[in-house]
Structure 1
Amino acid sequence: MFDADAAYLALKAHDARFDGVLFVGVTSTGVYCRPICRVRTPRRENCRFFASAAQAEAAAFRPCLKCRPEIAPGGGIAWSVMDASRTLAHQAAAWLDRHADVRGDTSIQALARTLGITDRHLRRIFATEHGVTPLQYLQTRRLLLAKQLLTDTTLPITQVALASGFGSLRRFNAAFIERYRLNPTALRRRAGPRTPSAEALTLQLAYREPYDRHAMLRFLAQRAIPGVEHVEVEGSAPGIRRSLRVGPPGREASGWLQVRFVEGKPLVQVQLAPQFADSSAALIRAVRRWLDLDAMPDVIEQALHELPGAGTRLPGSLDAFELAVRAVLGQQVTVAAARTLATRLVDAYGEPIATPWPGLVSRSFPSPARLAALAPSNLGTLGILRQRCAAILALAQQWDVLQARFNSASPASATIALLESLPGIGPWTAHYIAMRALAWPDAFPPRDVAVLKAMDCNPRDAEQRSQAWRPWRSYAVLRLWGSLGAAPTTPAPITP
C-alpha cells in the first residue's frame, strides 16, 4: 500500500521515479494516470493511488488518453529469498505477461501447474501481492496492449483484437466497452489521424531516467554482427536496426525492426516489419527486456552506489538462441574475435532477408534447425574450435527443450543447470546466457577475467564481496566491465 500523502507529493512533482510503479485514479473524471501526466494536478481528495494499472482498472478507472499508461515502464523485478509467496506471485505475473497475446482463454490451471502450486493458492497469493485476480490482471494487459495498437498503428481493429490475445472481435469489443466505456473505433478517433503505412508498424515505449543510452549502444555496437544488425551510437537519432526471426519452429516469420531513442524524452520508438503485426505483443515485451526499459535505476543505485556507471542498463537479447551461440563463440577470446566468428557463421548459414537497409542489414542469424543439421566439420571450416562446435551443435539439437525452459516460470538456477549439462558449456557461459537471454539481474559469471581485474581480487573474494550487490550483480558486472574502459575479453576455461 502507498502512503497516500507521499504519493500525492510525487504526483505534484511529476516524479519520474514513480512512473510505472504508481498510478493515480481521479474520482472526478473516472480516469487513471501516470504520475508524470502533465494535465492539471487533481485535488488531493479526488485521488486514489494504485500500484498497478490492473488495480486501477479493477476499481473502475479507465486509462488516460494523454499520458497513456499502456506505454509506462513495468514495475521492475521483485526479488526476495525470504518471501517465497511474493516471489511466486511475481513469477505468475511474468508468466501472464508472456501469455497475454495468446488468443482465447489462458489457463490459470496451467499457470498453477507451472509454478507447482494449487489454483486456490495461486489466486490467494496473487491477490495479496497484486490486489487483483490473475484473470483481472490478464484482461488489463490485453486491453492496454490493444489501446497501444489502436493509438500508435493503423492495424484493422480485427487484427488488433487478435494480436492482443482476444479470441474474437465480439469478445474484444465487449471487454473494451465494459472497461473503458467507449468502443475501439471511438478511441482510435480520439487518438487522432494516423497515416497508413505498408512499410512499418510504429510504437512507443517509455523508460525511467537515468538511462545511459550511449553505454547500452556502445555495448551492442561492439558485438554487432555485420549484415544482421547495425548500431548508431552517435547522431541525432541513435538506435539499432536488425533482422529478426519470430514465432515457433516451422511457423517462423523473418523480418526486421528498428529502435531509436527519442531525443530529450524517456521514450523509445520501435518500428516493426508489417509481417510482425500478429507478434507485436511478444515483440513489445522482447524489446523492453532487450533494452532493459523496465529497470528501476534508483533502486539499483542504492545497492551499487560504490561502483561507477549510474544509469547502466542490462543488455538483453531478442533471440535467445542467437545469444547462446554467440556466448559459446566468445569463450576465451576477445569481443572482436567472437564477432568475426559470428560473422563467418552468418555468412555461411544465415538466410538472405529483405530490409529497408540492404547495405546494412541483409541476413538473418542461422536457425536452430539449420545448425542442428550440420556436422562438426562444417563449423570447423569456419575456424571454430572443436569443443565449441560440439557446444553449438548441442544447443541447436536441444533447443526445443531449452526454449521451453526459457519461456517458463522456472528459476534461473534451473536453466543454468540445464545449460551446464551440455558439452562445452561451463558455469561462465551458462551465467552469461542467463544474464542476457533471461535478463536475469543477479548473474555473476564465475572467474570472469575482466571482473577480477576491476575488483583486484581472487575469485573467492570476488564471490564473497559480490553478495552485497545482490540481487543486482548483473548490473555490477556491467559496471565493472565498463570501469576498465574497453570491451572485456572472455573468461576462464570452460568445463568439458
Structure 2
Amino acid sequence: MIDDETRYRAVHSRDARFDGVFFTAVRTTGIYCRPSCPAVTPKRVNCTFYPTAAAAQGAGFRACRRCRPDSVPGSPEWNHRADLVGRAMRLIGDGIVDREGVAGLADRLGYSSRQLQRQLTAELGAGPLALARAQRAQTARLLLQTTELPVTEVAFAAGFASVRQFNDTVREVYDRTPSGLRGERVPRAAAPAAAGTLSLRLAYRGALDSEHLIDFLALRAVPGVEEVVPGNRPGVRTYRRTLALPYGHGVAEVDGLGPGDEPQRGWLDCRLTLADLRDLTTAVHRLRALFDLDADPDAVDARLGAHPALAAQVAARPGLRSPGHVDPHELAVRAVLGQQITVTAARTLAGRLAAKYGAALPAPSGGLRLLFPSSAALAAADPEDLAMPGARRRALLGLCAALAEGAVRLDGGVDREAAAADLLALPGIGPWTVGYLRMRGLGDPDVFLPSDIGVRDGLRRLGLPGDAKSAAEAANGWAPWRSYAVHRLWTAAGTPVPTPAPAPEETA
C-alpha cells in the first residue's frame, strides 16, 4: 500500500512505474492523468488520487488528451491478488460484464450482485458496471482512432447497448464527440496491417525481456495454431497464433523488441484480425496475460536480485516475465500431453490432435490454419488417436470431460486454491501439472516447481542444492514472485523447458 504523499512524489517525478497503479485527478482542470503525464505538475492541494480510471470518471473527471491514461498497463495487483476484488477485475478485463452482465459476473464469483457492488465500490471507488463502462470507452477510442468503421458499428463492437449510451459515454470520458475523437488520430510508425486488421500497441511498464518471451513461446508453438516468424523490422521476431474467442475466431500477431529498441520502450506492436469486433477487448486482455504485460518487473527484480545466486542474472537480463496463456483449457491439455516427454514431443503430439480435432480457419493465415481443439471435442476423441501411455490417456480424457462439463473451472475469476484441489482430485493429475497450470493458466505469480528437473538443474548451476526439499526451502525467500524465479532457473539451466520429475500420481 502507498499513501497519497508517495503518490504525489511519483507524479512530481513522472514515474512511469506507477502508471496503471493509480490515477491523479486535478480539481482545477477537471481532468485525470497517469502519474507519468508530461504536463506541468499540479499543486498537491489540487490533486485527488483514484485507484481506477472508472473511479475518476465517476467523480466527474475526464481523461487527459495528452497522456491518455486509459491506455496504461493494468495494475499488477490483479495478477497476484486472489481475493474477490482481484478475481472480479480479471473477469471484467475479459469482458464478462459485457457478455453476461453483473449478475453473470457475481454468479461466477459466488457472491450476490449487491455484495459484489459493495466490495468493489469500497475498494476501487467504482462498481462492476462503471469498471466495464470505462473499459468499453477505451475500446471505443481505440476503434475510432485505428479503423475506418462507421461510428454506429464502433458503438456495438465496443460493447455498448445503444448508440446514445455510446455517445454519452465518449463525451463524458473524453469531452469529445465520437467524430471529434476520431479526428484526433496521432500518426505513428507501425508495421503495416492488412485490410480488416487492427494495429495497436500493448503497453507495459518497466523493462521487458522480449527475447525470453519469444524463445519460450517459439519452443512450444503448436503447428497450425502458433508460429514465430521474422518481423517487419530487422532483428525482430513476431509471434502469431489463432484465438478462439466468445463471438468468433481471431488471428493475433505480436512483435518482439528489436536490436535498437530499449527494454523500457513501453509497448509491443500488435495486430489483430477478428471475425467479430466485439471480441477486441477479450483478445487484448488475453494477449496481455500471455505476455505478462501488467507485471511490475521492478518489484520482481528487486526481490529476486537481492539473492546472491540470482543477482548477476537479474542484472544481465532485467524485465524477465512469466508467460501466461490465452486459454487455460488449452494449456491444461498441453500440460498433460507434456507429462514425462520432451517439449518437442509434446508439441508434435499437440499438433496432431489439433489437425485431427481442431476447427479449421475459413482461410489460412501464413502457417496458421487451425484453432486448438476444445475440451468437449477432445473429451469425445477416439482413444486410438492419443498416442501416449494408457494412464496419461485416461488422465487427458478425464480432464477434458471435467472441463467440458464445468466440474473443473479454469478462468480468471476462479479461486486458485479451489481449482488446484479440483484438479488434484482427477486421476493422473499431480502437483507439477497443477503448479504449471496455476503459473501459466491462472496467472499465479507465486508458484514454485521443486520437482521440476529444469528448476533443480538451474539451482545446481547457480551453486545451490538441487534436491526438491532444498529447492522449496530456497524459494521461500523469493515469495511472492516464485513463478519468476522458476523462469530464472530454467534460463540458468540453459533451457526454458519444464520437465516434471517422475511422480506416482502423474505416471500411474
Same-fold call, TM > 0.5?
Answer: yes
Question: What is the aligned partner in structure 1 of residue 462 from structure 2?
Answer: none
Distance in 2 (CA, whole Å) between partners of 1:216 and 1:449 is 21
Distance in 1, Cα, partners of 2:404 & 2:161: 27
The alignment status of 1:373 with 2:380, answered yes or no, reads yes
Partner of 1:188: 182
Aligned to 1:332: 340
The answer to which of 165-174 and 119-128 deviates more is 119-128
- Partner SS, residue 200 of structure 2: strand
| Cα deviation code 1:441-473 (max 9, x no counterpart) | 122235112222333232233223323322222
Query: Residue 266 of structure 1: CA displacement?
Result: 1.3
Quote how far apart the aligned CAs of 1:238 are.
2.8
Please state how far the C-alpha of 1:406 moved relative to its aligned partner: 1.9
Check conservation: 2:78, 2:90, Cα contact below 8 A.
no
SS class of match (2:94): helix
1:228 aligns with 2:232: no
Matches of 1:344 and 1:299, distance apart in 2? 41
Distance in 1 separating the partners of 2:187 and 2:207: 32
1:11/1:212 CA distance change after superposition, 3 Å:
same
Contact kept? 2:450, 2:469, Cα under 8 Å: no
What is the CA-CA distance between 1:52 and the residue it aligns to? 2.1
Deviates more, 1:393-402 or 1:422-431: 393-402
Partner of 1:208: 205
Contact 1:202 1:269 in 2 (8 A): yes
**1:95/1:322 CA distance change after superposition, 3 Å:** closer
**8 Å Cα contact 2:79/2:445 also seen in 1:** no
1:343 aligned to 2:351? yes
AA partner of residue 178 (structure 2): P
Residue number in structure 2 paired with 1:259 = 254
CA deviation digits over 1:414-465, x for unaligned, max 9?
Answer: 1122222333222211221221111121222351122223332322332233
Taking a change above 3 Å as real, the CA distance of residues 154 and 440 of structure 1, as seen in their structure-2 partners, is farther
Tell me the CA shift for residue 56 of structure 1: 1.9
Please tell me the root mean square deviation across aligned C-alpha atoms, in Å: 3.0
**What TM-score, normalized to structure 2?**
0.85
Higher mean Cα deviation, 385-394 or 289-298?
385-394
Partner of 1:322: 330
1:237 alignment counterpart: 236
User: Does the alignment pair 1:386 with 2:384?
Assistant: no
The Cα of 1:333 is off from its aligned counterpart by 1.9
1:147–1:93 Cα change, 3 Å:
same
CA distance in 1, matches of 2:412, 2:293: 21
Out of 476-485 and 155-164, give the one that drifted further.
155-164
Which stretch shifts more, 471-480 or 212-221? 471-480
Residue equivalent to 2:468: 459
Where do 5+ consecutive residues of structure 1 fail to align? none
Using a 3 Å threshold, how does the CA distance of structure 1 residues 446 and 277 change in structure 2: closer, same or farther?
Answer: same
Contact 1:240/1:260 (8 A) holds in 2: yes
Distance 1:130 1:276 in 2: 31
Deviation by residue 1:366-418 (Cα, 9 ceiling, x = unmatched): 333332332211223xxx22222222222332323459722362211211222
- Residue 285 of structure 1: CA displacement? 0.7
Tell me, in whole angstroms, the C-alpha distance in 2 between the residues paired with 1:192 and 1:79.
Answer: 31
Change (3 A) 1:344 1:110: closer
- 1:488 deviation in Å? 3.0
Change beyond 3 A, Cα 1:366–1:117? closer
Distance 1:64-1:152 versus aligned 2 partners, 3 A rule: farther
> Residue in 2 aligned with 1:97?
93
Moved more, 342-351 or 68-77: 342-351
Equivalent residue for 1:399? 403
Deviation at 1:113, TM superposition (A): 4.7
What's the counterpart of residue 160 of structure 1? 154
Deviation at 1:267, TM superposition (A): 0.8
Alpha-carbon offset, residue 313 of structure 1: 0.7
Distance 1:421 1:73, change over 3 A: same
Q: Counterparts of 2:223 and 2:104 in 1: how far apart (Å)?
A: 41
1:144 maps to 138
Correspondence list, 1:102-181, <5 A:
102-103=98-99, 106-107=101-102, 109-117=103-111, 119-181=113-175
Distance 1:77 1:36 in 2: 19
8 Å contact kept, 2:227–2:240: yes
Unaligned 5+ segments in structure 2 are 460-464
| Pairwise CA distance, 1:341 | 2.1
Q: Distance in 2 between matches of 1:254 and 1:132?
A: 32
Between the aligned partners of 1:117 and 1:378, the Cα distance in structure 2 is 42
* 8 Å Cα contact 1:211-1:312 kept in structure 2: yes
User: Which whole-Å CA distance do the structure 2 matches of 1:80 and 1:348 have between them?
Assistant: 37
Q: Is the 8 A contact 1:154 1:196 kept in 2?
A: no
Which range is displaced more, 72-81 or 144-153?
Answer: 72-81
Quote the offset at 1:329 in angstroms.
Answer: 1.7
Is the contact between residue 403 and residue 409 of structure 2 (CA under 8 Å) also seen in structure 1?
no
Q: CA deviation at 1:73?
A: 0.5
Cα separation, 2, equivalents of 1:148 and 1:404: 35
Q: Which residues in structure 2 correspond to 1:52-63 (within 5 Å)?
A: 52-63=52-63
Count of residues in correspondence between the two structures: 482
User: Structure 1 stretch 295-304 or stretch 26-35: which is displaced more?
Assistant: 26-35
